[in-house]
Amino acid sequence: MITGNRTTPSAHQPAALQAGMLAGQVPLFDNAQIGGVSMTFERNAEIFGEGEGADYVYKVLSGSVRAYKVLSDGRRQVTEFYLPGDVFGIESGSEHSYSAEAIDKASILLVRRNSVFSSAESNSDVARYLWSITAAELKRSQNHALLLIKTAKERIAAFLLDMAGRLAGKGFVELPMSRQDIADYLGLTTETVSRTLTSLSEGSTIQLLASRRIVLRNPSQLNELNA
Amino acid sequence: MITGNRTTPSAHQPAALQAGMLAGQVPLFDNAQIGGVSMTFERNAEIFGEGEGADYVYKVLSGSVRAYKVLSDGRRQVTEFYLPGDVFGIESGSEHSYSAEAIDKASILLVRRNSVFSSAESNSDVARYLWSITAAELKRSQNHALLLIKTAKERIAAFLLDMAGRLAGKGFVELPMSRQDIADYLGLTTETVSRTLTSLSEGSTIQLLASRRIVLRNPSQLNELNA
DNA sequence: CGGGGTCTTGAATATCGTCAATCGGCGTGG
DNA sequence: CCACGCCGATTGACGATATTCAAGACCCCG
C-alpha cells in the first residue's frame, strides 16, 4: 500500500479519542506505546485499495472517509462512512476486502496491524476492544442491509438521522460527502437522492440551506419514515 | 429466551466441527469442557428473538437457520442463512439485534456466552477465534449489502452460487428455504424470485428438478451474471 | 383423493433509473 | 471586482425493472 497523493507521515499527534470507546476499554490508538503515525490525505486520495495488504488499522482524527466496493461494470457500493473517532480497516484476512478514500482533507492515525494483534495476544482488554469494534461494525453493516430494502424516502430519512446523530452540528447537518457518495451508500442514483431531498424540503420536513447543509425541521417525521 | 416449540435439551452430542474453523484454531464448541448443550428445533421454531438477552452462542449441527430483522410494517430482511458448521448469535451487546428461526428441523449446539467470554479472557486463541468469526460475518454482511444493489437476475445468480458452494450436493443444490425466505434475503418478492428462476431455467443456465432442487447447468454463466 | 400451503404465471402499476438539459456555487484569471 | 468555466446538484420527460394484485398450478401430507 502507501500509494496515492498523500502527505509525508508527520510526527505523531495525540488525538481526542472519545468516540468508539466503550466503558472500561483500553485507550488503544492513543499513545506512542503502540506506535501510531498520523498522515494527511487530500480530498479523494486513496487510503488503501481492495486487495491490498491489510498491514495497518486506521483511525479518523479529522475529516471523513468512505469505504466502498466496486463491481466489474463500475457500480459502486459505499459500505460505510467513517467520521472523526471511527476506527476502520481491521480485517481478519491479510488483504483489505474494500477500498477507502478520504472524502475531504483528512487526518488519519495509522497503527501497524501486527502491533495491535500482538498486543491483543497478551492483553485480553485489547483483544476485547478489537472484537467489540468488529462486532459494532457488523451491527452497522446489518442495519445498512436493512436500509437497502426500504423505499428511497425511507433510506434518505434514515441516512439523515444517522448523520445528524454522528455529526452533531449547530442547528444543521453539514454533510462532507457528495450526492453521488450518498447515492452509492443508499443504493440509489444521485437524481433520486436529489429529488427525494427536494421532496422532503417541499414538505418542510427538512430545509436545504445549501446542498450539503441541511436543517432537520421535523426529525420525528423522519423517524416515522424510518419504518 | 428459551421460548417456542423446541424439544427439551438432550445430552450433549459431539459434533463434526469442520466448518468455520481456520487453521490452528481452538476447537471451540466441540467438547464438554465449555459446557455445550444440543437442542432440536422444529421447522419455523424461534431460536431467539430480536431484543432478547444474548446469553448463548449457537452452532448449527444439522438443519438450517435463518436470521432476520423485521420492520414495523412487517417487511422482513433475512440477514443470513446458517448451515451445518456455522456459528451464530455472537453479539457485542447484551441483547440480540436480530431474530433466528429454524428453517427446517434443526439440531443446534448452545454454549453459554459467559463460558466463551471468560475462556477468551485467559486464552488468546479463543479470543482470536471469537474475533475471526465476527470478522468473517462482517465480510459476509458487506457482500450481502453489495448483492442488494444488483439486478434481480444477478442477485439470484449470486445466491445460487453461494448456496451451491455451501451445500455441496450430489449434482444438484437442495435448498432448505422457501421462495419467501430467498426473496427476503435478496430484497425481492417471491414472484420476482420465481420469475427469475424460470427465466434462468428457460435459458438453460439452470434446471429445476423440483422447486427447491436445482441443477446448475452452466455455473460460468451464473458467474458472469455475478458482475 | 382432497386440502392447504407453496410456487408459478399473468396483467397492470409504481417506483426508481436513464438520458438530457439547466442551474448554481466557487475558484481562477483577466 | 467581475466574468468565465467547471463540477456538482437539480429538474424534466421518458422508460425499464420490479412490485402489486390476482388467479391458477403443483405438491406434499393427511
Residue extents of the structural domains in chain A: 32-147, 152-225
pLDDT digits (tens, 9 = 90+) for B74-118: 999 999 999 999 999 999 999 999 999 999 999 999 999 999 999
Rounded Cα distance, A39 and A47, in Å: 10
pLDDT in the model for residue B144: 98
CATH of domain A32-147: 2.60.120.10
Q: For residue B199, say whether its CB is under 7 Å from any atom of strand D.
A: no
pLDDT tens-digit profile of B7-37? Answer: 333 332 222 222 333 333 455 565 445 669 9
At B105 the three-state DSSP class reads: coil
CB pairs under 8 A between A and B: 106
- Residue B3: its pLDDT value, please? 32
Grid cell for residue A102: 478520504
Give residue A227's pLDDT band: very low, low, confident or very high (50, 70, 90): confident
The pLDDT tens digits for A182-202 are 999 999 999 999 999 999 999
**Architecture of the structural domain at B152-225:** Orthogonal Bundle (1.10)
The pLDDT score that the predictor gives to residue A63 is 97
Place A48 in a pLDDT band, splitting at 50, 70 and 90: very high
Distance B198 CA to C30 C1' (A): 65
The per-residue pLDDT for A35 is: 67
Condensed to tens digits (0 to 9), the pLDDT of residues B159-205 reads 999 999 999 888 999 999 999 999 999 999 999 999 999 999 999 99
CB B108 within 8 A of CB B39: yes
Q: What is the pLDDT of residue B27?
A: 55
Q: Determine the pLDDT at residue A144.
A: 98
Half-sphere exposure of A114 (CA within 13 A, CB side): 2
Give the pLDDT score at A168.
82
C-alpha distance across the termini of chain A, in Å: 42
- Give pLDDT, residue A101: 98
The C-alpha atoms of residue A29 and residue A64 are separated, in whole angstroms, by: 18
Say yes or no for a CB contact (<8 Å) between B141 and A145. Answer: yes
Q: Once rounded to an integer, what is the mean pLDDT over residues A97-120?
A: 97
Judged by CB atoms closer than 8 Å, whether chains meet at A149 and B227 is answered as: no
Residue % of chain B over a pLDDT of 90:
82
Q: From edge to edge, which strands make up the β-sheet containing A76-82?
A: A46-48, A99-102, A65-70, A76-82
Fold of B1-123: Jelly Rolls (2.60.120)
User: How high does pLDDT run on average in chain A?
Assistant: 88
Summarize pLDDT for A114-163 with one digit per residue, the tens: 999 999 999 999 999 999 999 999 999 999 999 999 999 999 999 999 99
pLDDT at B168: 82
CA distance A98 to A88: 11
> CA torsion sign, B196 to B198 to B204 to B208?
positive
Q: Which residues touch strand C (CB under 7 A)?
A: A 151-153, 187-189, 191-192, 210; B 178-180, 190-191, 193-195, 197-198, 208, 211-212
pLDDT category of residue A33 using cuts at 50, 70 and 90: low
Q: Quote the strand ranges of chain B, DSSP E.
A: 37-41, 46-48, 56-62, 65-70, 76-82, 87-88, 99-102, 106-112, 173-174, 206-210, 213-216
B180 touches strand D (CB under 7 A): no
Identity at B27, one-letter amino acid code: P
Q: How many CB atoms lie within 10 A of CB B198?
A: 12
* % of chain B exceeding 70 in pLDDT: 85
A25: number of Cβ within 10 Å? 14
